Amino acid sequence: MEKREVIYEGKAKRLYSTDDPNLVIAQFKDDLTAFNGAKKDTEEGKGALNNKVSTALFQMLAQNGVESHFVKMLDDTNMLCKKVDIIMIEVIVRNVATGSLSKNLGIPDGKVLPFTLVEFDYKNDDLGDPKLNDQHCLILELVKNEAELDQLRAMARQVNDILRPYFYAKGLNLVDFKLEFGRDANGKIILADEISPDNCRFWDIATGEKMDKDRFRQGMGGLKVAYEEVLNRILN
Protein backbone atom coordinates (compact mmCIF):
# COMPACT_ATOMS: atom_id res chain seq x y z
CA MET A 1 0.00 0.00 0.00
CA GLU A 2 1.64 3.22 -1.15
CA LYS A 3 1.36 6.27 1.13
CA ARG A 4 0.88 9.39 -0.96
CA GLU A 5 0.12 12.99 0.03
CA VAL A 6 -1.39 14.40 3.22
CA ILE A 7 -5.10 15.02 2.58
CA TYR A 8 -6.04 16.17 6.09
CA GLU A 9 -4.23 17.01 9.27
CA GLY A 10 -6.12 17.03 12.55
CA LYS A 11 -4.90 17.57 16.10
CA ALA A 12 -4.09 13.89 16.74
CA LYS A 13 -3.84 12.30 13.29
CA ARG A 14 -2.62 12.94 9.78
CA LEU A 15 -4.50 11.35 6.87
CA TYR A 16 -2.72 10.27 3.71
CA SER A 17 -4.16 9.22 0.37
CA THR A 18 -3.00 5.90 -1.06
CA ASP A 19 -2.83 4.29 -4.50
CA ASP A 20 -6.38 3.00 -3.84
CA PRO A 21 -9.00 5.82 -3.99
CA ASN A 22 -11.16 4.01 -1.40
CA LEU A 23 -8.40 3.69 1.21
CA VAL A 24 -6.51 6.20 3.36
CA ILE A 25 -3.74 5.84 5.92
CA ALA A 26 -4.27 7.44 9.35
CA GLN A 27 -1.01 8.28 11.08
CA PHE A 28 -1.41 8.68 14.83
CA LYS A 29 0.59 11.65 16.13
CA ASP A 30 2.25 12.13 19.51
CA ASP A 31 0.69 15.60 19.82
CA LEU A 32 -1.64 16.33 22.70
CA THR A 33 -4.09 19.22 22.70
CA ALA A 34 -6.82 20.30 25.09
CA PHE A 35 -9.26 23.18 25.52
CA ASN A 36 -9.71 23.52 21.77
CA GLY A 37 -5.97 23.69 21.10
CA ALA A 38 -5.17 26.24 23.83
CA LYS A 39 -3.03 23.68 25.72
CA LYS A 40 -0.47 21.72 23.70
CA ASP A 41 2.28 19.18 24.30
CA THR A 42 3.77 16.05 22.80
CA GLU A 43 4.26 12.67 24.44
CA GLU A 44 6.57 10.30 22.61
CA GLY A 45 4.84 6.98 21.97
CA LYS A 46 1.31 8.28 22.57
CA GLY A 47 0.37 7.90 18.88
CA ALA A 48 1.48 4.26 18.81
CA LEU A 49 -0.50 3.50 21.99
CA ASN A 50 -3.67 5.05 20.55
CA ASN A 51 -3.19 3.18 17.26
CA LYS A 52 -2.91 -0.12 19.16
CA VAL A 53 -5.86 0.58 21.47
CA SER A 54 -8.04 1.70 18.53
CA THR A 55 -7.03 -1.33 16.47
CA ALA A 56 -7.97 -3.75 19.24
CA LEU A 57 -11.29 -1.98 19.89
CA PHE A 58 -12.29 -1.67 16.22
CA GLN A 59 -11.51 -5.40 15.79
CA MET A 60 -13.53 -6.32 18.86
CA LEU A 61 -16.45 -4.13 17.73
CA ALA A 62 -16.36 -5.73 14.25
CA GLN A 63 -16.67 -9.16 15.87
CA ASN A 64 -19.78 -7.79 17.58
CA GLY A 65 -21.35 -6.48 14.38
CA VAL A 66 -20.23 -2.82 14.41
CA GLU A 67 -18.81 -1.76 11.07
CA SER A 68 -16.04 0.84 11.10
CA HIS A 69 -13.52 2.40 8.73
CA PHE A 70 -10.75 0.19 10.21
CA VAL A 71 -9.03 -2.09 7.69
CA LYS A 72 -5.76 -3.05 9.40
CA MET A 73 -2.88 -1.78 11.48
CA LEU A 74 0.10 -1.20 9.18
CA ASP A 75 2.78 -0.50 11.79
CA ASP A 76 3.12 1.19 15.21
CA THR A 77 1.62 4.51 14.17
CA ASN A 78 -0.19 3.85 10.87
CA MET A 79 -3.67 2.42 10.36
CA LEU A 80 -5.19 1.57 6.98
CA CYS A 81 -8.79 2.81 6.82
CA LYS A 82 -11.67 2.98 4.37
CA LYS A 83 -12.03 6.49 2.99
CA VAL A 84 -15.14 8.12 4.42
CA ASP A 85 -16.78 11.53 4.33
CA ILE A 86 -16.80 12.50 7.98
CA ILE A 87 -20.13 13.66 9.40
CA MET A 88 -19.24 16.85 11.27
CA ILE A 89 -21.00 15.80 14.46
CA GLU A 90 -19.13 14.55 17.56
CA VAL A 91 -21.37 11.95 19.14
CA ILE A 92 -20.79 12.03 22.92
CA VAL A 93 -21.90 9.07 25.03
CA ARG A 94 -22.03 9.45 28.82
CA ASN A 95 -22.58 6.88 31.54
CA VAL A 96 -21.28 8.99 34.43
CA ALA A 97 -21.43 12.78 34.85
CA THR A 98 -18.11 14.64 34.65
CA GLY A 99 -16.35 17.12 32.38
CA SER A 100 -18.52 19.56 30.46
CA LEU A 101 -21.76 17.89 31.61
CA SER A 102 -20.99 18.58 35.27
CA LYS A 103 -19.64 22.04 34.46
CA ASN A 104 -22.60 23.12 32.29
CA LEU A 105 -25.51 21.57 34.18
CA GLY A 106 -24.19 21.30 37.75
CA ILE A 107 -24.61 17.51 37.90
CA PRO A 108 -22.18 16.28 40.59
CA ASP A 109 -18.93 14.90 39.22
CA GLY A 110 -19.00 11.10 39.37
CA LYS A 111 -22.79 10.75 39.56
CA VAL A 112 -23.87 7.64 37.65
CA LEU A 113 -26.53 8.77 35.17
CA PRO A 114 -29.96 7.10 35.38
CA PHE A 115 -29.61 6.19 31.70
CA THR A 116 -26.94 6.57 29.06
CA LEU A 117 -26.93 10.07 27.64
CA VAL A 118 -26.10 10.67 23.96
CA GLU A 119 -25.30 14.23 22.92
CA PHE A 120 -24.18 15.91 19.71
CA ASP A 121 -21.38 18.51 19.50
CA TYR A 122 -20.59 20.44 16.32
CA LYS A 123 -17.15 19.35 15.07
CA ASN A 124 -16.00 22.90 14.44
CA ASP A 125 -12.85 24.21 16.15
CA ASP A 126 -13.51 27.82 15.12
CA LEU A 127 -16.76 27.74 17.08
CA GLY A 128 -15.33 25.67 19.97
CA ASP A 129 -17.39 22.50 19.28
CA PRO A 130 -20.75 23.85 20.54
CA LYS A 131 -23.67 21.62 21.59
CA LEU A 132 -26.22 20.81 18.88
CA ASN A 133 -29.84 19.76 19.10
CA ASP A 134 -31.55 17.80 16.32
CA GLN A 135 -32.90 20.92 14.64
CA HIS A 136 -29.44 22.52 14.57
CA CYS A 137 -28.10 19.38 12.86
CA LEU A 138 -30.80 19.61 10.19
CA ILE A 139 -30.49 23.38 9.67
CA LEU A 140 -26.71 23.01 9.28
CA GLU A 141 -27.31 20.06 6.89
CA LEU A 142 -24.87 17.90 8.88
CA VAL A 143 -27.14 14.91 8.14
CA LYS A 144 -29.86 14.31 5.55
CA ASN A 145 -32.80 13.76 7.88
CA GLU A 146 -33.92 12.90 11.41
CA ALA A 147 -33.68 9.18 10.70
CA GLU A 148 -29.92 9.59 10.29
CA LEU A 149 -29.70 11.28 13.71
CA ASP A 150 -31.60 8.33 15.18
CA GLN A 151 -29.16 6.02 13.40
CA LEU A 152 -26.16 7.85 14.93
CA ARG A 153 -27.72 7.60 18.41
CA ALA A 154 -28.51 3.89 17.94
CA MET A 155 -25.00 3.09 16.70
CA ALA A 156 -23.45 5.06 19.58
CA ARG A 157 -25.59 3.14 22.11
CA GLN A 158 -24.65 -0.15 20.45
CA VAL A 159 -20.94 0.73 20.82
CA ASN A 160 -21.53 1.65 24.47
CA ASP A 161 -23.44 -1.57 25.14
CA ILE A 162 -20.42 -3.52 23.87
CA LEU A 163 -17.61 -1.41 25.34
CA ARG A 164 -19.01 -0.71 28.81
CA PRO A 165 -19.17 -4.34 30.03
CA TYR A 166 -15.96 -5.15 28.13
CA PHE A 167 -14.05 -2.50 30.09
CA TYR A 168 -15.87 -3.26 33.33
CA ALA A 169 -14.50 -6.83 33.13
CA LYS A 170 -11.03 -5.28 32.82
CA GLY A 171 -11.46 -3.14 35.91
CA LEU A 172 -12.17 0.11 34.04
CA ASN A 173 -15.27 2.26 34.29
CA LEU A 174 -16.13 3.66 30.83
CA VAL A 175 -17.31 7.08 32.00
CA ASP A 176 -17.86 8.77 28.64
CA PHE A 177 -16.48 8.93 25.11
CA LYS A 178 -16.69 10.69 21.79
CA LEU A 179 -17.38 8.93 18.49
CA GLU A 180 -17.25 10.14 14.92
CA PHE A 181 -19.02 8.59 11.96
CA GLY A 182 -18.56 8.86 8.20
CA ARG A 183 -20.13 7.79 4.93
CA ASP A 184 -18.27 5.12 2.96
CA ALA A 185 -18.07 4.91 -0.85
CA ASN A 186 -21.63 3.46 -0.92
CA GLY A 187 -23.02 6.19 1.33
CA LYS A 188 -23.34 3.83 4.27
CA ILE A 189 -22.79 5.41 7.69
CA ILE A 190 -19.97 3.63 9.55
CA LEU A 191 -17.91 4.29 12.66
CA ALA A 192 -14.72 6.31 11.99
CA ASP A 193 -11.93 8.25 13.75
CA GLU A 194 -10.41 6.45 16.76
CA ILE A 195 -11.41 4.98 20.11
CA SER A 196 -8.61 5.60 22.58
CA PRO A 197 -7.82 7.25 25.92
CA ASP A 198 -7.64 10.53 23.94
CA ASN A 199 -11.41 10.51 23.39
CA CYS A 200 -12.70 8.22 26.16
CA ARG A 201 -12.69 8.65 29.92
CA PHE A 202 -11.64 5.52 31.83
CA TRP A 203 -11.66 5.44 35.63
CA ASP A 204 -9.95 2.56 37.39
CA ILE A 205 -12.70 0.78 39.32
CA ALA A 206 -10.40 -0.25 42.20
CA THR A 207 -8.61 3.06 42.77
CA GLY A 208 -10.75 5.69 40.99
CA GLU A 209 -7.63 6.81 39.13
CA LYS A 210 -8.10 8.59 35.80
CA MET A 211 -6.58 6.54 32.95
CA ASP A 212 -7.14 8.94 30.03
CA LYS A 213 -6.45 12.37 28.53
CA ASP A 214 -7.85 14.10 31.62
CA ARG A 215 -4.35 13.45 33.07
CA PHE A 216 -3.09 15.95 30.48
CA ARG A 217 -6.11 18.28 30.62
CA GLN A 218 -5.76 18.52 34.42
CA GLY A 219 -1.93 18.58 34.45
CA MET A 220 -1.69 15.39 36.49
CA GLY A 221 1.26 13.77 34.64
CA GLY A 222 1.62 10.03 34.15
CA LEU A 223 -0.28 10.06 30.87
CA LYS A 224 1.81 7.49 29.05
CA VAL A 225 1.81 5.03 31.96
CA ALA A 226 -1.99 5.29 32.10
CA TYR A 227 -2.40 4.75 28.33
CA GLU A 228 -0.02 1.75 28.51
CA GLU A 229 -2.10 0.31 31.33
CA VAL A 230 -5.30 0.67 29.28
CA LEU A 231 -3.62 -1.14 26.37
CA ASN A 232 -2.32 -3.89 28.69
CA ARG A 233 -5.76 -4.47 30.15
CA ILE A 234 -7.22 -4.72 26.62
CA LEU A 235 -4.57 -7.19 25.50
CA ASN A 236 -4.71 -9.35 28.65
Binding site for ligand 5GP (CB under 6 A): 90, 92, 99-101, 121, 129, 176-178, 198-201, 213
Can you tell me the distance from the alpha carbon of 148 to that of 180, in angstroms, rounded to the nearest whole number? Answer: 14
Of the candidates 151, 199, 155, which has an alpha carbon nearest to the alpha carbon of residue 177?
A: 199
Question: What ranges in 64-131 are assigned the alpha helix state H?
Answer: 99-105
Q: How far is the CB of 93 from ligand 5GP (least distance, A)?
A: 8
- Determine the residue with CB nearest ligand 5GP: 99
Q: How far is the CB of 21 from ligand 5GP (least distance, A)?
A: 28
Can you tell me the distance from the alpha carbon of 231 to that of 55, in angstroms, rounded to the nearest whole number? Answer: 10
Q: How far is the CB of 27 from ligand 5GP (least distance, A)?
A: 16
Q: How far is the CB of 101 from ligand 5GP (least distance, A)?
A: 6
Q: What is the DSSP letter of 210?
A: B
Please name the amino acid found at residue 57.
L
* Sheet of 78-82, strands arranged across: 3-9, 13-18, 23-28, 78-82, 70-73
Of the candidates 202, 196, 179, which has an alpha carbon nearest to the alpha carbon of residue 45?
A: 196
- Residue 104 or 236: which CB sits closer to ligand 5GP? 104
- Residue 23 or 162: which CB sits closer to ligand 5GP? 162
- Residue 128 or 165: which CB sits closer to ligand 5GP? 128
Q: How far is the CB of 127 from ligand 5GP (least distance, A)?
A: 12
- Residue 17 or 100: which CB sits closer to ligand 5GP? 100
- Residue 90 or 148: which CB sits closer to ligand 5GP? 90
Q: How far is the CB of 197 from ligand 5GP (least distance, A)?
A: 8
- Residue 131 or 185: which CB sits closer to ligand 5GP? 131
Q: What is the DSSP letter of 126?
A: G
Can you tell me the distance from the alpha carbon of 187 to that of 93, in angstroms, rounded to the nearest whole number? Answer: 24
